[in-house]
Amino acid sequence: MYNLAELSSADKMKEECGVFGIFSKSEKKDLSLLTYFGLYALQHRGQESAGIAVCDEVDVAVHKGMGLVSEAFKSEDLQKLTGNISIGHVRYSTTGSSLITNAQPLVARYLGGPIALAHNGNLVNTDKLRSELEQKGTVFLTTIDSEVIINLIAQQVDKATLEDGVIECMSKIEGAYALVIMTRDKLIGVRDPHGIRPLCLGQMSDGSYVLSSETCGLDVVGAKLVRDVAPGEVVVINKDGYKVISTVSPRRASCVFEYIYFARPDSTIDGINVHLARQRMGEVLAKEYPVEADIVVPVPDSGISAAMGFSHATGIPYENGLMKNRYVGRTFIQPKQELREFAVKLKLNPIREVVEGKRVVLIDDSIVRGTTSGKIVNLLREAGAKEVHMYITSPPIAHPCFYGIDTSIRKELIASDHTVEEIRQYIQADSLCYLSNEGLLKAVGLEENQLCLACFNNSYPVKASESVGVDKYILEARREKSE
């Protein structure tokens, strides 16, 4: 069976994961429900599975399920999860298959008691670390890198505190990670030394502290932003409040695609509002490539903010020329090649009365393989568009990502070995314009040395071999080889 959402978004970078956590000084009857709401707000970061773990100062209870948050939990599931500390996770698999055994949070029990962990990101030295742990007798139940992290922490039982064990673990793992960790009496947030993946701290009116991948997760539970967790920081929350432990940060390298595509527009990451950043991308793009056109049309939803900025900068009217079917996500179709051609049409439908006879500027965030972009251009032409000019709010993606984004191997990225003109011809647009690297930096408002731009310029903050990106099922391959 084919996942229609995957077929219709094959030209998009896949979201990574979302993490969420709450610490309350006393037991909250609605703790699991609040965590559920937080995960709902972070649903865009992962749609394969969801899970919540809650601690009642004695033990940890966990419930996980496949699919969307609303599919993974029933009311009775949440009612069974009671306590004063909780963590949650929504997943898109970047290491390991989409299976319930690989769903998070992960729960383990060691000499220090129960521990639960949820992870957003991807390690680049997973295989090496797992081999070392297996040689010491560690038994693994999943094929995800997060289990390597929880085992490394659990092994540090001789450390004075759990946070000392976390810091020791950080010295061994390499790659991108935003972690929420829960024990009987603590909630811990961790952000990797480069700050590749986002994490923030908030506080509710009753004093409860909240950790979330994005501020939209804070907003939905009524928490106010206290601060972003800085690169290399460990935030430890207990009944006395919170403390911050700083570790070495070589240089900040936040993923620029959080601003371009991944994060929700209403989120603010490291002090930068995502909607406004995307709006500026559209404005800068308009200045870099003037065009004569009748309407500006976004590819929903990630192109909306940028299209608004483009329209404002040029005076060309903004129109909703493409309607998105928001109920496609979990639909499956039979594995017949001819049915694949309907995938884009089922997800996006042009409004003929809006685009017919018009010169259209089509705004999208990126082109990965070029397949879907060409189909969208063709949809507009079939609806009567006179011209279709494709404007992209990022530079060409020519290199794979190893840090929690499921991009293809380099040879499948259309910009890796094709010129802009060749890509234009392939997608059959009248013109194709990419936002420049300088324009992107101006729009986001950060310096080049503060962002990870590796998918554009091949400059990786944490080195990794291409095999890391080629096979996210590497741990399953190792398991099959050993059996």
First to last CA, the chain: 27
Alpha-carbon torsion, ordered 284, 289, 292, 295, to 10 deg: -40
3-state secondary structure the chain: CEEHHHHHCCCCCCCCEEEEEEEEEEEECCHHHHHHHHHHHCHHHCCCEEEEEEECCCCEEEEEEECCHHHHCCHHHHHCCCEEEEEEEEECCCCCCCCHHHCCCEEEEECCEEEEEEEEEEECCHHHHHHHHHHCCCCCCCCCHHHHHHHHHHCCCCCCCHHHHHHHHHCCCCEEEEEEEECCCCEEEEECCCCCCCCEEEECCCCCEEEECCHHHHHHCCCEEEEECCCCEEEEEECCEEEEEECCCCCCCEECHHHHHHCCCCCEECCEEHHHHHHHHHHHHHHHCCCCCCEEEECCCCCHHHHHHHHHHHCCCECCCEEECCCCCCCEECCCHHHHCCHHHHHEEECHHHHCCCEEEEEECCCCCCHHHHHHHHHHHHCCCCEEEEEECCCCCCCCCCCCCCCCCHHHCHHHCCCHHHHHHHHCCCEEEECCHHHHHHHHCCCHHHEECHHHHCCCCCCCCHHHHHCCCHHHHHHHHHC
Burial of 82 from C-beta contacts in 10 A (0-12 / 13-18 / 19+): middle
Q: How many degrees, rounded to 5, is the angle at CA 175 between CA 172 and CA 180?
A: 80
Q: How is residue 217 written in tokens?
A: 């997760």
Tokens of 76: 């009775």
- Give the relative orientation of helices 274-288 and 437-444 as an angle to the nearest 10 degrees: 140
200 labelled catalytic: no
**200 strand-pairing partners:** 212, 228
The residues annotated with a catalytic role in the active site are: 17
